[in-house]
Structure formats: C-alpha cells, structure tokens
Structure 1
C-alpha cells in the first residue's frame, strides 16, 4: 500500500492560493464521472461572509478545480453528477431537520449561477442522481441530456432534459425504468445499471412434484438484473441472476440507515452490502459482504458488543461460473460492524482488503480457472478501522482507491515484498503455492520466485517442499511457452497445465490468530442468466456482454487441460521394461538429429547458447546409455501432449470463437515448445537447487562425483521426487550423479532399498566408480555382489567382465558352464587378463593322484560331452578353478 496523494490538501492549496484569508474545510467527494473527473463539495467562509457550501469539478490529471455552483448558506450536499458537456448539474441535498430527507435539484451551469430547479422528489428514503454519458465524444444536435434518478425502494426514473433552455416543467420528460428495487449500483465505464428486485421464482420442479408453497411472498426471490444503456438505442436487460439472500424478502423490514456511497454510486441501506465489479475484457464479479451467527448465543445485553460473529463474504465469479466463499469466524461484534471491506480488480486478481484481518488476492482472471488464491496480512496497518472507508475509482490506473474519510489517494497493489514475507512465514502450503503461481505467471517475476525456492531449499525437510518445486516447474514451463508461442496457435495454450493446485479446494489459513476459510461452488447454467449475442438490439456488438457470453460458452464446453498424471501413468508401465542397453536412440525434438523443423532447431540452439559457465551443474551433462531415460520421457510426453491437444481441438472445433484456426501444425508447435520448456525449466531448477546446496561452478575440482553433501542429497532427492511426479525430464547425467551421491551419503542397506525401489539407477558409468570405490574386503565384495544382482543381465555381465577379482572369474566360469550344460551354446567369451597370482601358488598339485586325474579333469570331460571344444573356454575354467583352490586353501 502506497499513499499517492491527499486530494483534500491539493484542493485546499488550489483554493487558498486564490483566497488566502478564507477558511476552507469540510471536503466531501460527491461522485466520479466516466471521464475520470471528480465532483467535490466544500465549505468556505471569510470575515465578510458566513460559511457557504460550494460544488466544483476537479480534473486530477491537470490538477484543475472549477467551481460550478455555490449555495447561499452551508448545505449538506451528499451526491452530485454532471452531464458530458458540462452544462447541467444534478445534486442531492440531505436535510436533517425532521429526520433524513433527500431532495434532488437541477442546475443549468451559466455565468449568473441562478437557474436552480427543484425536482419535487423529496423522500425519506435515499435518493441519488446520475447522468448518462454517450460513447461518442461529440453530441448530436438537440440531443437531450439523460439523467437517472434513484429513489430507494420506490423507483428508478429516467429524465430527458432539453439543452439550451431554462429549467422548468416543460424542459424535461421522464419515464419509470424500475419499480420497487432493494439495491442499485451504477457502472460508469460500461454505462450499466445493476439493481436487485424481487422477482417471481421459476418453478424448476421435477415433473410430478407438487408446489406446496402457499405464501405468495415466498414465491419471489431476490434477483440481480442489469440494464445496458446505449447511445441512440433503447436500453436492454442483459443480465438476470437469482441471488441467495435469505435475510432479504419482500416482507422483511430494512434498517433505513444509509451510508450515501458515491464512489461507486450505490443505492442501498445497511441491510445489504454488495458491489458489482466489471472489466471490459469480460470480467463480472458480484461481491457480497455480510455478518452472521451460526448459533444464536445466549448473552447479556452488556456483553452484546463483544459477542463473536462470523465475518463473511461471497464472490460470484460469473465469467468462470463459480462462487467463492470466505468465512472468518469468531470476530467480536463491536469490531466486525466497523469493518468495511474493499473489493477492487487488480489485474487478473480480485483484491479484497479486510482491515485488521487480512488481504486476499482471488485469482479470477481469464487465463485459467480460479484456484490460486493468496492470503497475506492487511495492506494498511497504521490507520484505525473507523478511519478507513476505501472505494475503487476509475480512469486513474490499476489499483487506485480513495479513502472517503481522509480523501487519501492510495495505490493498493500488493507489493512483492509482502508476498515474499507471506511465503517465508508459517503459512499454509496452498498459500505458498499460490504465491509462486502469482509471481511466475501474473507478475512475471521469475527471479523472485527462484529466490524463494532457494530460500526454501535451505529448509529441505519442510513438508510440501516437493510440491513447491512442482509448482515452480509447471508455472515456469507454461510461462516460457506463453512468451514464445506463435500468435496463430495461442488458443491451444489454454489446454496446457498451469498449476499443480486443483480447482475447488477448501483452504483454511491461520493469520495472526484468525482462521480464514475459503471454499468454492460451481454455478449451473450460468449462461442462462445472460442475454445471448443474437438477442441483443445490435447482434454481436463488441462489448463486455458478448465477451462474457463467449467466456461462459468456453467454460461450458469443458475443454480439459493436459494433466501430467497422464504421462506418469504411461511411464509407470513403459519404464518397467525399459532397457537402455537394448533400445536404439529415439528421435525427439531434443535429439541432435531429431525434429524436422529448422525453426525449432534454431530456437533450441539459441536457448543452449544462453547457458554459460555460471549456470553449469555439478555433474557432466552426458548420459552413457545408448538410449537415455530422458529421451524416453520426452518422447512419451510429446506423444501424449500432441494427442491431447489434437483431440481437444477437434472436439471443440464447432466453437468458432476459440478453435477456428487450430491445425495439426499448431498442435506440433505448441507440443514441441512445451516439451522444450519442460527440459529447460527442469535444468534451471536443478541449477537453483545445486547452488542453494552451496555448490559453486567456479570450483572446477569439485565437479563430478567428488562433490557430495548430505544436504545436497536431501535437496536433490526432493527435486527428483517433484520431477518424477509430473513426468518432467531430468538433465542428462543427473541420474548417475544422484545415485553416487546417495551411495556416499546413505548406509549401504538404505542405498540398496533406493535401488530396489527404482529411485537410484545403476548405469554403467556410476557402477564402474562404485566398484572401484568399494574395497575388496569381505563386506565390500558382498556389497558389490548385491549391486550386480540388482542389475539387468546384460549390464551385470559387462561389469563382471571388467571386474579384476577372483570372484568375477568364478562367477563367469559358473555361468559359462551353466550355459554349456543347459544346451545354450555360443562362442567362447573373450579371453580376459588373468588374476595376479600370489607367491607359493600350488595349482593342480592340490589334487594329487598317480595319473593326475582330478575332479577338474572329470568336469572337463563332462563338458566336452555336451559341447565342441571350440565352444568351451578351457582357460577361463582352469583359471577359475585355480583361483577357487587358492581361495579355499588360504
């Protein structure tokens, strides 16, 4: 939160420069028009004249205040509006002599400031006025000024006032637009009138079910309707939404206490606090704030102010066809009744500021479904609640609000530092994931997100650390594709995974002792609440309502985003029979010879050229396998994603607003770029984590398998778990480095469990180093044999041939004999170097006999009876026998 300006001080400076001796005070905001100009009232007095109330129009950008009307005395003017050509002023005076009475007036702006007309609509109920603003900048000749007059619980009138004539009964005509409304709000940007009225409830019963309701009043339901005003065309009802407001019925009494909200212009009493927020891109959110007690407590009147109530609000996100509920229980009544929450659109988010409690960022943008909601501490902490009455304003920039109590102009954009602080606090995991999502995709601040991942890596035992890594990988991959995707294929990006959070999760966040509960419900048939584009007065005109209809049509089609679990399921099956020594190298966009697109290869080369020595990893990015697991995962990802994109785009082809230009070439472009982003972001995250594990690429001597730390292993174990769970590819060389790091960090029994659970992969390169690193003690030999028996047969034979040890000779000899005796014939194995003999070796003298007949001779005779001499490796068998004899004797 940043205070930009104090409008009261600026206005005072403007007037005091002209009348330095006058006393100027009691500033009041009367309204803001579509063009951004403010209407203010103030009281001014001097030694020669008594206090007088004045009305002026203020242009904030030019810092220009123009006085347009002066009362002859001090008056309680509560609201005003001026027409588009600044010729007619309408204002409302609230008189408090015999109760609260509202009186609207018209004033023709001219030099003598005398032409004031009383509309004779004095009421005890709230009365407000508002001019319509045409979209065209130049008014047509003799075009009347259109004025809306709101009379609470009575009617909404539309006046058409002639221009250039004296104000009297003949200068205007009027008609009634709405009768008996409960609540109303004017949207100056869209020129839309929203109002709540009681409407007959549609039956909506199952066939054969009887309607047992007899009370006619109970057959009505509060309905929010929207009237869209056009320049020359008549207005049209574009919206009818039934609301769940059980405390409001046609026979329920109202409190008749008014706040006189002028920005935004709302007509209501204290029985209903509701505001509608819209954006020209097709946003529409209905925000309803209320207090309730689930169980009426039995308390003394003296304790009534401290009795706890539930502070709650609901947001109907119409463009996503859902409702988000928030409940903050156990707030004292004397505190809850003073809180006026702020609801304002903030980019792709809806910002809700609840003084002294919290700030919410509800993710309600069009990019994806609402699921990543952020909860932080209150934006404003240095101002007491009773001095906070914030209201969003238009045409001054995103996130600008005004404090109606102090006239401070405030920027309520959530600072990155506040999100960082919330992430580092003991907050809920879902909140941390939402913060990462916000930083990566919405504020596009990947550097800060990377810093948070590095900070979290210093605490690798935190619950949910792998989920944070998953969110980072999914978010950065989506963001990378979004930046590099061709414009003609951008519709398909809506099918890519965007977050690891599920839509509709119930979330409970504890903040400064307050439990904040968020939940989400789905709206059914939301499009039935709108006027369809073909039913408009001007069919398919480009405005918020057509965009909203298109958005709801897209939601109702139910296009499914790609789920990483689809690839995980495929890999669960395919990796069971994965044998890298047998498979040939596959051809994918990641392969040196893979991919058929020159543009794609150029893109990959440009990405690789950005990797400098400062970003290197603590292992050599080389896989010694013929076909790496990385390429296998990439190929499965590419196949599954391509099929998903093609299937979804084909099923939704009839929706001309979304899929009309998508072709298989677009599918290929999106799929290859996303797979590229997967590998690139996986590598980038590995660099971040290795750096957080105190690895520095400048230490060249530490590169490879020598560099190992327990903390680094723990971090990389979480990284491996995150990558595997969403089927992202690992950097080349990672699996061997991770395996040897685990070998040097864990006990052998634990290491063997990791191997049996397929976490560690015993490739040839890492096995060579483990075999060389392990001594030839009795336990060391047993370790080696356990590892060799865990390997595929071909890989174990390859390593066994390179193991210069008597055990290797005996195992190879036994296998050779077994093959011959079982009838598996083949060429003799290549002759390997003999084992270094110790001094005093006795050889065959261990089997003395007169004719040198020994068990070995008998065994060789048995083998020659089963196979030809060329199939038998006599040298291997004799050397293994001698070695076993030596081993036996010693």
Structure 2
C-alpha cells in the first residue's frame, strides 16, 4: 500500500480479513472432469458432477481429496495435487456411497476411506481390506512425517472412532513388479492410542491429536504428539473448568464432513482447540443461546492461566444455530465470526488488554465471499465453505489495518491496528515508514496512548524476538500497563483457570515455547518484562550521587557500552542522512544509552543463562541500537516532510512555520522517550535547542530550559555565544544561558563571550566562592541581613541580594580571589540597576 498523503481521503472501508482462493472445484476440477476421468466421460454432465463434489480431506502436503458421483451413480475419489495443480483419479466404488473421511499415503499407493473403513491398494492389485466393519463415523488419517525421515516401505494410519477410541495401524508394503502391495495384510500391527474419549480433534499440520476424556472431578483435555519416527507421546493434560457430561458433543471434529451436521440430534456445544507458533494454546467454545438477543462464547488461554467469557448483544433475528459461530485460527489471532453480526479478533499472544483486539460490527464485520453458516477452519489460516466446496486461505488485510489507523475515531481500533501491523504483519521498513507518516499527521488525536512509544517499543520487540527463543517473554511489547475502556455491546469476564501439565521433558518447538509460557505464569509474567522504572531509578542515582573510585570505573564501563551502541548503527550512511546526529557529544545521553545496555544485560542474565554472556551483551546492544535507529528514522521523516535543510541549523533569524511544526514534533518525541527513560541520539538536544531559539519568544525559550524540555549542551551553548551578535535581546539571552549552564560546561566556554555581562557572571561566581567559605548557610544569611539593613546605596544593595542567592545551577569560581577586579564588580552592579529601573 502506497503511503497516504496528509489529509488524503481513503476509499470505502475494506474487510479486515481477506480471502485468497486455494481450491475452487469449478476452476481446478471442472476442466479435468470434462476430459472424462474414471467413468465420467460426458462433458455435458460436468455441472452435475460438481454438484455432488465434496472435499473429504486436505493432507499435510496440501493435497486435496474429494469425491463426486459419476454418470452411473458410482462414487469416485480424486486428488488435487497442490504443487503440480493437477488432478488424479484414485479409486471408484461401483455404488452410491457417502464417503465422510478419506486419506492417502504420501506415495499414493494406499487409500483408506470410511466405507466400512476400507484399506485399499490403489495399484496395481486393488486389494481391499476391511479395517472396521461397524457403520459409524470414523476419522481416517495417514500420518505424514517429515520427508527426509520417512520410510517408503511403511505407512502409519490413525483411526479415530465414534466408538470413543483412537488407534494407530502400521502398514508395511513390499514391491511387486511396478507397484507395491500390503505385506501380511491379515496381521496388521495395531496399537491403541486413547480410550473413553468424548471428543477429538486432529491437528494436521503439527501431527497432534487433541481429545477430551471424562474424569471424576473435571473433564480433561489431552494431547498426543506424533513424531517423525514411529513414536508418539502423551504431551499434555489440561483439566477443564467446564463439565461436558450433560452436553451432546460431536464425538470428533471431522472438519470437512457435511453429512455429520445433518443429524437430527442437536449438538449444542461448538468447541475448537487452537494453537500458534509462539506457544499459545487456546480452547474456544460456545453454546447455542437460549434467546436470540445475545450470544456467549469463551476462550481458555491455557498458556496464560486464565479464561475470558464474552457476551455480545445481538439485534433481533429469526434463528441462530450453534454452528453459525465460527472460530478461525489466524496464528497470532483467533477470529470469532458470526456472519451478519460481528467479527471479534482476539490477540492470543497478548490477550490481557482488550485494546489489542478488534471487535467489529455491521459492514466492518463482513468476510466477503463466504456464506452465512457453512464455514469451518480445518487448518491454520484456512477457511472451508461447505456449501460451495471452496477452500480459501485467510489473512488479515494490511491495507485495511492502515485504513483503521487513518480513519478510526476510536483509540482502541487505532491501537489494535498499530499493534497488529507491527507485531503480526511484521515491522518491516516499509510498514515502519507508513506508520511514522501516520504518527506525524495524526498523533495529536490519540488521547489514551502515546503512538510514538507504542511504535518504538513494539517495532523493537518484533525485530529482536525473531531469532532468540523466549526473548519475547523478557522484553516489553507495550508501554501500557492497563486499559480501562470497554467495547460497546460486549461484556467480558475474566477467570483464573487450572494450569495444564506438560508430560514431556526436554521438549522442543511448540512444547518448549508452551513450557516457557507456563513458567512465566507462575512467576507473574508482567514482572519478567524489562522494567523502565528501575532504569529511571538507576539513572537518577548516577546523576545525583558523588563519584567514588568504584563508581568512576562503573561509569567507564557505561560509556563503553554506549560506544558499542553507536558503532553498531550504520554509520557508513551518516553522510547521506538529512538529520545531523552524532556530530557532537552529549554526555548525559551517552550515559543513559550505556546504562540501558547494562541494565538490560543484567535483566537477560537472570533468565537467559543458556545463551552465553557475549550473546546477551550483543542482544542488549542491538536492542538499544534499534531504539535509536527508530528515533533517527522518525526524525528523517520529519526533515523530509517539512523540507528542512540537511546542515545544522543557524540560530540566527526567525523560524518559519515548518520549523515550528518540526520543533513541536521533536518535543513530542522528547516527551515519549522521557516517559520510558529511553536514550536519544547525541545531537538531538542540540537540534531541538537550535529550533527553540528560532521559534520561541525569549521568555518561553527560557521557560522550556528551566522545565527540562530544552537541554543545554556544550555545542548549542557555544553556538549561542558565537553566532548571536550583542543586541540588547541577545545580551539577555546569552547572560541567561550562562547562568543556566551546568558547572562542567561553564568552565570550558565562559571565556568565549568577551563582554561585560559575562564578567558580571564571573563576578557573581567569585562572590559565591567567598560566601561558600562561611561555615553554614544560617551565618551567611545573618551577615547579609545585617548589611542589607545598614547600606542605603541601591546598586550595592542589589549586588548583595544577588550574592545572597547561592544558585544551584551555577558553576564553581573560575578565577582566583587575587585576580578579581573589585571596581568592575561595582560597575556591573550599577549597570544592572540602571537596566532594571529602565534608566
């Protein structure tokens, strides 16, 4: 999506979820049927064949198995190869059958279908073996291990029966001429996997079987993981805080079966297990509502230790069936979709704050191209429309997210869209640039969150968490701690649930991430995130405490960290940059940069011991470098937006409207970084000071300095003293700057301005030096008070009052007592008096 210019009008709202056709029978199968596979052979009958076509399975490799009725009423089984985009006729039953489940092994030599559950040799023998002779619903599924570990001579078959059991069948084959046949078909190896299951769901992509078994206290969700070798293990037991004993559950989730839903017995519970790659494990379920005025559904976030139950008020409608509500697995999100009413996208990775989820109604809740109540989500990011036989890939529409950013009046939608763009779509340079443009144009209308903080934290989080396992548990993904606003028309209740138990040790991939998530719950996850408040506390200590030898060594290490961060930035492109950063030193920002690296490294060391000290140091350096790069990137966009020059500002003259706008944006950046105790690139304060001199009245400029908005650095102080001439206005400005300079800077540059006003500052400094020799402040004040009562000469009175104020922001005496010109002090006092009285 191209970047949108300021004030641009957007087109009509796009659907948030976008469909891409993955399998369309009329397109992928119809031309092949017209050519006459099997006993079809009559092109005119293709439309009739398509009406009887049903998908019965999608294998792990993407191949689609479907059935259709031929011109003699025979039942045909075909396969659409996802990679070659070609069809293959697998088998023909010379009768009219309802095949509700079917699977083929990866070599396409063995076929199993639910027709008395037949195991069929496709070729060359076409031998048929009955695996189960009871006419009940069965899910048949060949296991698909990774290709490089698979043995061609053996296939493993999973049977999930409506008779409340699951078993594994090992099928060995031998070569016979040009094909293969089943070896010892009379004695196939069978192994019972599970008993007493009341519900089951097969996870095709991850080769996992989820099932629910009744227990005396609580029903339990179990999971069996099948591995590339012949092994399988019970990996999970999760007690459910819901009782399913009195609910008529479908015994298994067949996904593609359109016949099972036509049964007369009502199935009031709609339930689905959803996992994602980050270790998220959710159970979504809903009951058929008693009334048509509201619908209730629950999501158990097992990886978080709590559940959320949502009640949504509905408009009056004629009917509402349990399967009208669909749960769609979008990996990072689970979508709860009730066609014609609402679309709720729940962030499963960070479900604690509702502001990172979408709740859409009306036209915004449409998913174009789907029928009302015939959709399911058999695979991750996949939707199957049973009324048309079409299979779609479903994804969150990036363009629609940008529309939410630019058009939404609700902060919740803006924040949800921003979070989804950066943490789900991915914080690429293109997305970062478009988000920055939105921030520059629209940030003033955000009232409940700081978009700059969210952008910097979320983008850094996504970038750093790509390659390092469990780092996402330790870095902050948001600056928000709470969110108190509710969605209109929806009520949410949160409950603590029983923690699941992992039954495996030294697990990998999903189970390792789930294990880490469960550990985080035990230790109260928010406290695992890097704490900016602790960084702020240490930062304040460094600025205020006295320097001991030990502390000086620590400070050297801190500055060494900062040097590594600056070196890690892409300094080779600095010459092409518009914003003149890193051209002067800012000791405070260098100190904060190095301190953040040190604090982050210590934080990681408490939880990531296994990755090594050097790796932790590099992670800390890379994270802080990313923060600085994002701030630099924002500033580059500001310079381009307002067409500012690439050279350092001249502080002479009056700032134009573009410079004023840039100044205020920089102030917002400063506010955002101060709120999170983030460092700024050296040179930021010099630029901000230069803009402030040009764009602000003198009293406002000094007010900004006194309140910490503008920070005096050595470079901007030198520029002020050198570049401004000595007009009355500039004289006041220079003198005001000199009196506000930190002590260490004042020592270096006080000689640059050769002017009586500068000597005045030196004189005041000298008298302060003398007064500080007094033993205590009370004695000094008594002396001053006594002198004030006896002396009537106004200039000297004024001088004494000035000297009595021991200024906290001054610097130590820059001259020795024997070099002080007392006559000059008297002249300066008289000059100040005449200036104040307007004489």
Other-structure match for 1:40: 66
Other structure's SS at 2:29 match? helix
Other structure's SS at 2:610 match? coil
Distance 1:787 1:578, change over 3 A: farther
Distance 1:730 1:122, change over 3 A: closer
1:607 aligns with 2:570: yes
Other structure's SS at 2:215 match? strand
1:630 aligns with 2:589: yes
**Which residue of 662, 677, 682 maps to 1:727?**
677
Other structure's SS at 1:716 match? helix
Other-structure match for 1:560: 528
1:196 aligns with 2:215: no
Distance 1:194 1:675, change over 3 A: closer
**Which residue of 419, 423, 426 maps to 2:408?**
426
How far residue 670 of structure 1 moved from its aligned partner, in angstroms, is 3.1
**Which residue of 478, 498, 506 maps to 1:500?**
478
1:244 aligns with 2:241: yes
- Take 2:603 and 2:201, find their aligned partners in 1: how far apart are those partners? 44
How far residue 389 of structure 1 moved from its aligned partner, in angstroms, is 0.9
- Take 1:230 and 1:477, find their aligned partners in 2: how far apart are those partners? 35
1:644 aligns with 2:667: no
Other-structure match for 2:728: 776
- Take 1:644 and 1:57, find their aligned partners in 2: how far apart are those partners? 54
Which runs of no fewer than 5 residues in structure 1 stay unpaired?
94-102, 202-220, 297-303, 534-539, 650-657, 825-853, 863-867
Other structure's SS at 2:590 match? helix
1:451 aligns with 2:400: no
Distance 1:465 1:765, change over 3 A: farther
Which runs of no fewer than 5 residues in structure 2 stay unpaired?
1-17, 174-179, 775-791, 801-815
1:811-850 residue pairs with structure 2 within 5 A? none
How far residue 823 of structure 1 moved from its aligned partner, in angstroms, is 7.1
* Per-residue deviation, residues 855-886 of structure 1 (Å, max 9, x unmatched): 99x99xx9xxxxx9956524414644775798
Other-structure match for 1:312: 297
Other-structure match for 1:684: 633
How far residue 309 of structure 1 moved from its aligned partner, in angstroms, is 0.9
1:124-203 residue pairs with structure 2 within 5 A? 127-133=137-143, 135=145, 137-138=150-151, 140=153, 146=157, 148-151=159-162, 154-156=164-166, 178-201=194-217
Other-structure match for 2:783: none
Other-structure match for 1:472: 455
**Which residue of 270, 274, 283 maps to 2:267?**
270
How far residue 81 of structure 1 moved from its aligned partner, in angstroms, is 3.3
Other structure's SS at 1:759 match? coil
1:532 aligns with 2:522: no
- Take 1:508 and 1:784, find their aligned partners in 2: how far apart are those partners? 53
Other-structure match for 1:827: none
**Which residue of 13, 34, 39 maps to 2:31?**
13
**Which residue of 410, 420, 431 maps to 2:392?**
410
Other structure's SS at 1:669 match? helix
Distance 1:106 1:369, change over 3 A: same
Other-structure match for 2:20: 3
Q: In 1, are the aligned partners of 2:200 and 2:252 still within 8 Å (CA)?
A: no
- Take 2:562 and 2:593, find their aligned partners in 1: how far apart are those partners? 16
Q: In 2, are the aligned partners of 1:682 and 1:728 still within 8 Å (CA)?
A: no
1:29 aligns with 2:55: yes
- Take 1:497 and 1:241, find their aligned partners in 2: how far apart are those partners? 28
Q: In 1, are the aligned partners of 2:65 and 2:103 still within 8 Å (CA)?
A: yes
* Per-residue deviation, residues 202-244 of structure 1 (Å, max 9, x unmatched): xxxxxxxxxxxxxxxxxxx222122445788686533221113
Other-structure match for 2:314: 330
How far residue 520 of structure 1 moved from its aligned partner, in angstroms, is 6.5
Q: In 2, are the aligned partners of 1:353 and 1:360 still within 8 Å (CA)?
A: yes
1:116-131 residue pairs with structure 2 within 5 A? 119-122=132-135, 127-131=137-141
How far residue 793 of structure 1 moved from its aligned partner, in angstroms, is 7.1
How far residue 406 of structure 1 moved from its aligned partner, in angstroms, is 2.0
TM-score of the superposed pair, with normalisation by structure 2? 0.73
How far residue 722 of structure 1 moved from its aligned partner, in angstroms, is 0.8
1:78 aligns with 2:100: yes
* Per-residue deviation, residues 445-471 of structure 1 (Å, max 9, x unmatched): 232222222222123422359722112
How far residue 708 of structure 1 moved from its aligned partner, in angstroms, is 5.1
Other-structure match for 1:261: 255
Distance 1:329 1:752, change over 3 A: farther
- Take 2:320 and 2:65, find their aligned partners in 1: how far apart are those partners? 31
Q: In 2, are the aligned partners of 1:292 and 1:309 still within 8 Å (CA)?
A: no
- Take 1:818 and 1:138, find their aligned partners in 2: how far apart are those partners? 90
- Take 2:645 and 2:833, find their aligned partners in 1: how far apart are those partners? 51
How far residue 482 of structure 1 moved from its aligned partner, in angstroms, is 6.3
How far residue 632 of structure 1 moved from its aligned partner, in angstroms, is 2.4
How far residue 417 of structure 1 moved from its aligned partner, in angstroms, is 1.3
- Take 1:450 and 1:566, find their aligned partners in 2: how far apart are those partners? 31
Distance 1:662 1:823, change over 3 A: closer
Q: Larger Rg: 1 or 2?
A: 1
Distance 1:622 1:111, change over 3 A: closer
Other structure's SS at 1:130 match? strand
**Which residue of 271, 281, 284 maps to 1:285?**
281
Other structure's SS at 2:609 match? coil
1:701-740 residue pairs with structure 2 within 5 A? 707=655, 709=657, 710-739=660-689
- Take 2:772 and 2:141, find their aligned partners in 1: how far apart are those partners? 100
* Per-residue deviation, residues 246-294 of structure 1 (Å, max 9, x unmatched): 5x32xx2538899963379999972222222456x6845233131576x
Other structure's SS at 1:459 match? helix
1:758 aligns with 2:758: no
How far residue 8 of structure 1 moved from its aligned partner, in angstroms, is 0.9
Other structure's SS at 1:288 match? strand
Distance 1:641 1:243, change over 3 A: same
TM-score of the superposed pair, with normalisation by structure 1? 0.69
Q: In 1, are the aligned partners of 2:57 and 2:65 still within 8 Å (CA)?
A: yes
- Take 1:810 and 1:636, find their aligned partners in 2: how far apart are those partners? 38
Distance 1:436 1:339, change over 3 A: same
Distance 1:879 1:381, change over 3 A: same
Q: In 1, are the aligned partners of 2:225 and 2:232 still within 8 Å (CA)?
A: yes
How far residue 662 of structure 1 moved from its aligned partner, in angstroms, is 1.4
- Take 2:512 and 2:773, find their aligned partners in 1: how far apart are those partners? 79
Q: What is the root-mean-square deviation in Å for CA atoms of aligned residues?
A: 5.3
How far residue 607 of structure 1 moved from its aligned partner, in angstroms, is 1.3
- Take 2:716 and 2:223, find their aligned partners in 1: how far apart are those partners? 69
* Per-residue deviation, residues 488-512 of structure 1 (Å, max 9, x unmatched): xx569557534225588677456xx
Other structure's SS at 1:78 match? coil
Distance 1:234 1:14, change over 3 A: same
Q: In 1, are the aligned partners of 2:199 and 2:253 still within 8 Å (CA)?
A: no
Other structure's SS at 1:755 match? helix
Q: In 1, are the aligned partners of 2:268 and 2:287 still within 8 Å (CA)?
A: no
For this pair of structures, how many residues does the alignment match? Answer: 753
